[in-house]
Each structure stands twice: as C-alpha cells, then as structure tokens.
Amino acid sequence: MRSIRVVILGDELLTGAGDPKGLGWLGRVQARLPKGENVAFFPLAMVDENTGDLLERWKSEALKRFSPESENYLVVALSSKDIEAGTTISRSRLNLASLLDDAQREGVKTFVVGPTPLGNPEYDAEVEHLNAGFYDVVKRRQIRYVDCFSPLKDHEGWLGEVTASERNLPGQVGYGLIAWLVLNRGWFEWLGMTEEDQS
C-alpha cells in the first residue's frame, strides 16, 4: 500500500476558524479521500502568514515532517498578507518561486491554493494583482494552482460571510466553496487517485 504524507502550509484558514462545524476547507477535502488510502495530513497553520514566513517555515517545519519511505506532498495555501506587510509583488513572486523550486529539489510534489477576497473592493484590487502574480509563478513550473480569488470575488455566499466577520473569516458556506474549488482543480490527480474511488 502507498504511504502518503501531505504537509499543508498556510494561515488560520487551515484551522477552520469561523466554521461552526470546525472542519474548514481542509477537513472537508480530507473527508473526500478514498477509503483505505494511507494518507497522513500535517496542517501547519500560522496567523497572518505571508510568503516570507511561508518560505522560512517550509525549511524549518515542513521538511522535517516528510519521510524517505513515503510519497511526500506539500500544499501551499497562500494568503493576501503580503499586502499588509508591504511586500512588493516581485518579492512575493520570488519568495513563492524559491519555495517551489526548493520543494522540487527535495522531490516533494506541490499543490498551490491562492488567496481569497475579503469583500473590500480597494483591498481586493490589490489581492487580484497578487493572485495573478502567484498564478504566473506556479504556471511557469507546471504546478497545479487553485484560483480562489476569481470565483469568489463576486460570490454572494462568500462575501456575506467574510464581510460579516470581524476578522474577515468565512463560515460554513465559504469553507465549503474553497473545498469545492480544491477538489475540482486536480486534487485527486495530483495525489495519484481518481474521484471514482470514493464511496
């Protein structure tokens, strides 16, 4: 039987914060894995994570959770915190590129989930540029990228939850939407599984 390790780097959305069911998008995605598969998930969440933090934590936290006896996979769940940190788009792109290239050298297969909109038009205009920059970096490396921004920026259910939250967190609907996007943007193929395996 295959032994699979999946490490997930990202911000507090990995914890399901704001979700009354406590599942978040990651829990919903895990629940859809085919039964009988030996898959271990290692979510590594950090509040207010930006790409510089991700790059550092990839080296200090993610790498040590992989095993030479397993198939090793890394999910990079990006946020828009680079904007608040004053990071230039070129630096954001470089940080992401460095992380992805390093993971490739280590033989780790990578899957990238893009940032989400917050429902503030002025801020979201900046997120849109950041999202495009991230997508370009990932596309050049022929890695799977889940664009969460474009489908959610005008989605009534998503916007209703994040604008009602003091910390702009989604709820049950929003996390379900992220999970749907992840599951339908090559998740099973990336893990070497097929959706038909599910019961």
Query: Which candidate, 104, 100, 74, 105, places its Cα nearest to that of 7?
Result: 74
Burial tier of 155 (Cβ tally within 10 Å: 0-12, 13-18, 19+): middle
Residue 2, Ramachandran bin (φ over 0: left; ψ between -120 and 50: alpha; else beta): beta
Q: What are phi and psi of 149, to 5 degrees?
A: -70, -55
Burial tier of 128 (Cβ tally within 10 Å: 0-12, 13-18, 19+): middle
CA-to-CA dists, residue 72 to 16, 17, 115, angstroms = 24, 27, 23
- CB 197: neighbour CB atoms within 10 A? 12
The pLDDT assigned to 2 comes to 86
Pull the structure tokens for residue 46.
Answer: 């950090």
Query: Which candidate, 156, 161, 163, 157, places its Cα nearest to that of 171?
Result: 161
Residue 165, Ramachandran bin (φ over 0: left; ψ between -120 and 50: alpha; else beta): beta
Length of the chain measured in residues:
199
Q: What are phi and psi of 42, to 5 degrees?
A: -125, 85
The pLDDT assigned to 199 comes to 42
In tens digits, the chain (199 residues) has pLDDT values of 889 999 999 999 999 999 999 999 999 999 999 888 889 999 999 999 999 999 999 999 999 999 999 999 999 999 999 999 999 999 999 999 999 999 999 999 999 999 999 999 999 999 999 999 999 999 999 999 999 999 999 999 999 999 999 999 999 999 999 999 999 999 999 999 977 544 4
The pLDDT assigned to 196 comes to 52
Global pTM reads: 0.96
